[in-house]
């Protein structure tokens, strides 16, 4: 009897200690993994860049870029990010090469005259509003207009920027986008809604990103009205 008792106890002990722990490790949810990859990308680019958009802006830009690339609405590996949460006196436009994970341009950019003074605060998709429009765009073709060589833009979000073509919202050069203008007026000059650039670099910038690359114009107000990210 005693022998049988101890045999049963030993059998039970080894059964418990040798139970497989197949559920001890679980895979991280796909969403968590995606956020981690974006954070890693942000850190990689930041390590070699003088400045960056806010992380909240960058995260949304990358998410939209991936969605649009998968849908075939953009073709190139360049992501242009404009962070309108920042002062117009700062370089708040970045062109990121998503292939090499590097910032290739960081420059000043104007917002619409009715969007605000130093800071952009108001946005519209309406004709003659003279305001900037938020959201994702695909870059179009080059043309020669009153500002010289310019780049047409196609707004990809209904109700937010879908009237970009009819409004004539384009990327063009402007003398009022310069450090000299800021020193004279304590703020950057403003456009009629176009993301205007410094004259000295506009031609090379628009030639780089023309032909269906991704442009994202951000402000915290966008978070409540996103069409692509919702």
Residue 22's pLDDT is what?
A: 42
Residue 35's pLDDT is what?
A: 55
Q: Are 121 and 149 in contact (CB under 8 A)?
A: no
Q: Could you tell me the pTM of the whole model?
A: 0.84
What is d(CA 108, CA 110) in angstroms, rounded to the nearest whole number? 7
The token pair at 216 is 């994202």
What is d(CA 222, CA 111) in angstroms, rounded to the nearest whole number? 15
The token pair at 85 is 């949460």
Q: Are 115 and 205 in contact (CB under 8 A)?
A: no
Mean pLDDT split into 10-residue runs, the chain, 230 residues: 42 44 46 73 96 96 97 98 98 98 98 98 97 98 96 97 97 98 97 98 98 98 86
Task: Find the angle CA(135)-CA(187)-CA(131) to the nearest 5 degrees.
Answer: 35
Residue 225's pLDDT is what?
A: 82
The token pair at 17 is 């200690």
Q: Are 125 and 134 in contact (CB under 8 A)?
A: no
Concatenating the DSSP letter of every residue in the chain gives: -HHHHHHHHHHHHHHHHT---TTSS-PPPHHHHHHHHHHHHHHHHHTT-S----HHHHHHHHHHHHHHHHTTS--SSEEEEEETTS-TTS--EEEEETTTTEEEEEE----BTTT-SSS---B--STT---B--EEEEEEEEEEETTEEEEEEEE-STTTTTTHHHHT-EE-EETTSSHHHHHHHSS---BSS---EEHHHHHHHHHHHTTT-EEEEE-GGGGGT-SS--
Rg (CA), the chain: 25
Q: How many CA atoms lie within 13 A of 220 on its CB side?
A: 5
Residue 52's pLDDT is what?
A: 96
Q: Tally the residues of the chain.
A: 230
Residue 6's pLDDT is what?
A: 41
Q: Are 209 and 80 in contact (CB under 8 A)?
A: yes
Residue 191's pLDDT is what?
A: 98
Residue 34's pLDDT is what?
A: 52
Residue 20's pLDDT is what?
A: 46
């Amino acid at each position: 009897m005693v022998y049988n008792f101890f045999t049963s106890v030993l059998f039970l002990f080894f059964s418990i200690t040798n139970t497989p722990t197949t559920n001890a490790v679980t895979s991280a949810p796909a969403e968590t993994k995606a956020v981690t990859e974006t954070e890693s990308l942000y850190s990689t680019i930041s390590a070699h860049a003088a400045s960056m958009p806010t992380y909240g802006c960058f995260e949304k830009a990358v998410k939209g870029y991936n969605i649009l690339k998968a849908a075939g609405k953009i073709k190139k590996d360049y992501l242009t990010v404009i962070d309108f949460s920042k002062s117009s006196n700062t370089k708040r436009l970045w062109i990121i090469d998503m292939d090499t994970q590097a910032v290739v341009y960081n420059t000043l950019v104007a917002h619409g005259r009715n969007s605000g003074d130093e800071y952009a605060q108001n946005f519209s998709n309406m004709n003659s509003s003279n305001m900037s429009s938020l959201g994702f765009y695909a870059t179009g073709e080059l043309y020669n207009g009153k500002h010289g060589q310019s780049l047409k833009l196609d707004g990809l979000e209904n109700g937010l920027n879908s009237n970009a073509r009819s409004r004539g919202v384009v990327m063009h050069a402007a003398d009022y986008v310069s450090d000299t203008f800021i020193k004279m007026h304590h703020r950057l000059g403003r456009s009629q809604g176009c993301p205007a650039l410094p004259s000295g670099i506009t031609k090379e910038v628009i030639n780089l990103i023309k032909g269906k690359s991704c442009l994202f114009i951000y402000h915290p107000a966008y978070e409540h009205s996103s069409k692509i990210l919702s």
